[in-house]
Amino acid sequence: MTDVTTPRTARNGVDVPTLFATLDAVKASPEIADFRFRARNTWISGTHNRTTIQGFYGAGQEDTSRTEPFVYDADHPAVLVGTNQGPTPVEFLLHAIAACLTAGLANIAAARGVTLHRVESTVEGDIDLLGILGLDAGVRNGYRQIRVSFAVDGDATPEQLAALVEQSRRRSAVYDVLTNGTDVVIDVTAG
C-alpha cells in the first residue's frame, strides 16, 4: 500500500498508457492499422521443413525491431511417416489459438484494471486422418473440433475473469480465422 500515489503505468506486464495511446493513434490515422505479416518456408526432407519469421509491414512502415529471425521446424511423427523434427503443422494451429486468446486476455484485463495471477490453457483438436489420407470422401481434412480450456486466477470475481476470456474471444484474430475461415490463394512457380 506504499505505492498508492505512484502512477500505475503497467498491469499484467501490459504498458496500459501505451496501449491506450496506440488506440488513440489508430483512431486518428486508421490507415496505420493495415498490417501484412510474412513467413518463409524451406523444405528439408520428407515431411520436415523449416519456417523463418522476421519482418512485417505495419503502422505505415516495414518493421525492423526484430534483430534475429524466429525459426520453427515442422515434421510428422514416426506413426505418420515422419522423423519428429518438429510438431505437425496442425499442432501449430493449437499454439496459435492459445497464444492469441491469452495475449488478448492479458491486454483486456489490464485495460479493465484487473490484475492476473495465472493464466493457463490446454487445447485439444480432434482430426480423423481418413480425410487427408483420401480414404473417405465424407471426412474433412481438418480438425472436426478444437477445444480450449482456460484456468484463470486474478483479482476479480470468477464471472469477471470469465468475461475477460469472452471479450478476448470476441476480439481474437486467430479465433476468427479458425472459426470463420479466410481466403487462401496459392500460386506455383515450377521448373
CB of 60 to a copy of itself, least distance (A): 10
- Closer to a copy of itself at the Cβ: 1 or 27? 27
Question: Which one of residues 8, 45, 62, 115 is an interface residue with a copy of itself (CB under 8 A)?
Answer: 45
Site for a copy of itself in 66-85 (CB under 8 A): 66, 70, 72, 74-82, 84
CB of 108 to a copy of itself, least distance (A): 10
Contacts of 38 (CB under 8 A, 6+ apart): 53, 55, 56
Tell me the backbone φ, ψ of residue 57, rounded to 5 degrees.
-105, 135
- Closer to a copy of itself at the Cβ: 1 or 186? 186
Q: Does 114 bind a copy of itself (CB under 8 A)?
A: no
Site for a copy of itself in 130-189 (CB under 8 A): 130-136, 140-154, 157-159, 161-162, 165, 169, 171-189
Tell me the backbone φ, ψ of residue 25, rounded to 5 degrees.
-65, -40
The burial of 163, by beta-carbon neighbours within 10 Å (0-12 exposed, 13-18 middle, 19 or more buried), is given as: middle
Which is nearest to 165 in space by CA: 69, 107, 101? 101
